[in-house]
Amino acid sequence: MKISTNISGNKSKTEGGEMLLAKCKGELKILLKEYDNKREALLPCLHLIQEKCGYLTEEIILFLAKELNLPPVEVYSVVSFYSMFNLKEKGKFIIRVCVSLPCYLRGSQMILETLKNELNIEVGQTTKDKKFTIEAVSCLGLCDKAPAMMVNKEVYGDLTPQKVKEIIRQYKRGEGR
Amino acid sequence: MKIILKNIEKRGYKGDIESYLKNGGYNALKKALKIKPDQILSEIKKSKLVGRGGAAFPTGLKWEFAKNSKEYPKYVVCNADEGEPGTFKDRLILENDPHLLIEAMVICGFTVGAEVGFIYIRGEYFKAYEVLKKAIEEAKIHNLLGKNILGSNFSFKITLYRGAGSYVCGEETALLDSLEGKKGQSRVKPPFPTFVGFKNKPTVLNNVETFANIPEIILNGGEYFSKIGSPNSPGTKLYCLSGDIKKPGVYELPTNVTLKELIEKYGGGCEGKLKAILPGGVSSNFLTDKELNITLDYPGVQQAGSMLGSGAVIVINDTHCMVDLAKRCAEFFDYESCGKCAPCREGTKRAREILTDITQGKGELGDLTLLKELQEVMFDTSRCGLGQTALNAICSAIEKFPAEFKEHISRKKCRLKICPM
């Protein structure tokens, strides 16, 4: 992603970036007002965009920078600091597999391998049809159900390779929870 | 003896406002509003409650510092950014008894003179976020939040704030920076948040579980609370049992429970042969079956050379290679280091590199001394707890299982055939 420091200057636009921004501009304005256009609004705004658009574009970052009176690079640094904010388009279903110690002890590696085989991608990648992304994440607080993973907002615990295959097939068929 | 889970463990308890009120909810707040903040503070101090997030700082003292400060406005922040691997107790409270937390935060605000509160909840806790959002609305309708609470002249509001996937934000000063819309990077302490916190104003920052003890203390008095469990750090504690254990889960037990009781009596014993235990998540030191008789209170675990932290008891059986687990811990901290201070940023990276080499048969005996030195430097010079404790598990693994490490280095052999030699 390119970040221009000159808000009004010429820059290469992310494909569809303007469109994505337009999609949530209204709601963003309301949220910004709630926070009096103060910096604290940044994370709530990013969450809102992420929820509506799936990822954050250059246009969105420039827009927020202007609204919050921050240098664009400052907004960018916040976006890239947090692992839940995406700067690239990700799959419709983001699969977060916990790889922290309690899940590792119970076989999270096997869960990751199964997912990689089932979807034919590596960790951090997105399937060609933009349906699935696999992420290896830190503890999800599901250690009593280890190994565990989340698909978007849904929680899946006590996983086995077989269970994982079934869950993925359900999502592929459009029957996911 | 249940304080925190007393509602949750009741059959059919739903956690909504009606259920909470029916079970005596908000009676502590009603009582608190009738007595003076000084008196509430004295009860909290008498209770000897210490923070349940990991640092075990006396809660009464924290509140007193904030209360005595002449700076305004003051803030109350709940740390619901549960992220220490092996910890899942706050999720239980947040999802199933949110009003317990809200009630405690209002009492805290009333005591210290704050009118604004925040709950910083980790981004991945989608369900807990929704539950809390609903609970806050319910509390507003019942005049338990908002202006002139229950007819008093005290007003308090709570804002929910979501994190976005960063372990270090569980550290209090990093959390405050995140709450201000910045990268979650730790600040230099002192000054502590009770003096210079959110937007540089006095801020009480407590863990979810710490708050959850407050209503009970108000209702039954600090002295009553101080007699529960171990006299050194009284009350109950939520112990999160995970790993190779027959019955994983959250257990609320008085703090005088022993590690052996927790694992065998409540957890049903280790699955397979017990090899090691992390009593306080991956930031703590490994214990072995020789230390099973320790009491699970803060001083007890510390005397055994480890720490109770948030109460994440991870049980490990003999099918796991300690070198491999040490490498895992190093990878975790390398990934989660915020990058603000050099000792932690570089130290966690080097630790990961050294341990990766050892697991690949490229290690040298001097590496073990190097890791020990690195731990000392990081403990002395890192800004926050992340860097200070990052190498605890690793160095204690070397100390308690030296043969395994030496075998990997000198004989280039992993006896469990886990490491890719």
pLDDT above 50 for B419: yes
Residue A4 has pLDDT above 50, yes or no: no
Domain that holds residue A38: 17-81
Looking at the fold, whether A113 and A62 belong to one and the same domain comes out as no
Chain segment B21-43, per-residue pLDDT in tens: 999 999 999 999 999 999 999 99
Predicted local distance difference test score (pLDDT) of residue A7 = 41
**Do A107 and A73 reside in the same domain of the chain?**
no
What pLDDT is stored for residue A5 in this prediction? 43
| DSSP state at residue B258 | B
Residue A37 lies in a domain: yes
Digit-coded pLDDT (tens) for A45-102? 999 999 998 899 999 999 999 999 999 999 999 999 999 999 999 999 999 999 999 9
Using a CB-CB distance cutoff of 8 angstroms, which residues of chain A are in contact with residue B420? none
Kindly state whether residues A124 and A154 are assigned to the same domain. Answer: yes
Instruction: Compare CB distances from A143 to B86, B123, B329 and report the shortest one's residue.
Output: B86
- Binned at pLDDT 50, 70 and 90, residue A14 comes out as low
Residues of chain B above pLDDT 90, percent:
99
pLDDT value at residue A8: 38
Together in a domain, A26 and A73: yes
CA atoms within 13 A on the CB side of A99: 22
Contact predicate A123/B335, CB 8 Å: no
Give the one of A39, A138, A145 whose C-beta lies nearest to B85's C-beta. Answer: A138
Domain boundary among A81, A103, A126: A81
Could you give the CA distance from residue B181 to residue B335 in angstroms, rounded to a whole number?
21
SS3 B345: helix
Four-point Cα dihedral B196, B197, B203, B208, nearest 10: -140
Task: Identify all chain A residues contacting B91, using CB atoms and an 8 Å cutoff.
Answer: 141
Nearest to B82 among A43, A141, A144 (CB): A141
Full set of structural domains in chain B with CATH: 17-226 (3.40.50.11540), 236-317 (3.10.20.600), 322-410 (1.20.1440.230)
Hey, is the C-beta of A97 within 8 angstroms of any chain B C-beta?
Answer: no
Q: Which chain B residues are Cβ-neighbours of A78 within 8 angstroms?
A: 181-183
- A149-165 confidence digits (pLDDT tens): 999 999 999 999 999 99
Q: Is residue A12 part of a domain?
A: no
Task: Return all residues near B190 (Cβ < 8 A) that are at least 6 apart.
Answer: none
Percent of chain B past pLDDT 70, that is, above it, reads: 100
Whether A30 maps to a domain, the answer reads yes
CB within 8 Å: A141 and B325? no
Same domain, A100 and A167: yes
Q: How far apart are CA B406 and CA B324, in angstroms?
A: 13
The beta-strand segments (E) located in B288-394 are 312-317
Domain membership of residue A141 (yes or no) is yes
Residues A73 and A34 in one domain: yes
Q: Which residue from A43, A105, A140 is facing B162, i.e. has the nearest CB?
A: A43
Q: Are both A64 and A28 inside the same structural domain?
A: yes
Structure tokens at B344: 């932690």
Rounded to 10 degrees, what is the CA torsion of B136, B142, B143, B146? Answer: 20
* Nearest CA-CA distance, residue A120 and chain B, Å: 23
In a domain, A106, yes or no: yes
Residue A177 touches chain B, beta carbons under 8 Å = no
Asked if residue A124 and residue A71 are part of one domain, the reply reads no
Answer yes or no: do A138 and A77 share one domain: no
Q: CB distance from A44 to chain B under 8 Å?
A: yes
* pLDDT value of residue A10: 39
Categorize the per-residue pLDDT at B95 as very low, low, confident or very high, splitting at 50, 70 and 90.
Answer: very high
**CB of A48 within 8 Å of any CB in chain B?**
no
Confidence of residue B301 (pLDDT cuts 50, 70, 90): very high
The 10s digit of each residue's pLDDT in B247-288 is: 999 999 999 999 999 999 999 999 999 999 999 999 999 999
Write the CB contacts of B381 (distance below 8 Å, at least 6 apart in sequence).
B341, B343, B387
Do residues A119 and A161 share a domain?
Answer: yes
**What is the CA angle B98-B104-B105, rounded to 5?**
90
Residue A29 counted as domain residue: yes
Is the residue at A8 inside a domain? no
Beta-strand relationship, B236-243 and B312-317: parallel
- The 10s digit of each residue's pLDDT in B377-386 is 999 999 999 9
Across the range B113-135, mean pLDDT stands at 98
pLDDT at residue B127 greater than cutoff 70: yes
Q: Which residues of B touch A77 (CB under 8 A)?
A: 183
- Residue labelled with tokens 């001394």: B369
Domain count, chain A: 2
Give contacts of A 113-152 with B, CB under 8 A.
137-146, 150
Enumerate the β-bridge partners of residue B157: B116
In a domain, A56, yes or no: yes
Interface of A with B in 2-41 (CB under 8 A): 38-41
- The verdict on A158 and A128 lying in the same domain is yes
HSE-CB at B406 with a 13 A cutoff on CA atoms is 5
Among chain B residues, the shortest Cα distance to A78 is held by B183
Residue A23 binned pLDDT confidence (cut-offs 50, 70, 90): confident
Chain B positions touching A41 (Cβ under 8 A) are 181
The helix/strand/coil state of B3 is coil
Euclidean distance between CA atoms B289 and B302, whole angstroms: 16
| Interface predicted TM-score of the whole assembly (ipTM), two decimals | 0.95
What is the pLDDT confidence band of residue A20, given thresholds at 50, 70 and 90? confident
* Residue B185 pLDDT greater than 50, yes or no: yes
DSSP H stretches of helix in B221-340: 222-226, 259-260, 298-303, 322-336
Q: Do A103 and A76 share a domain, yes or no?
A: no
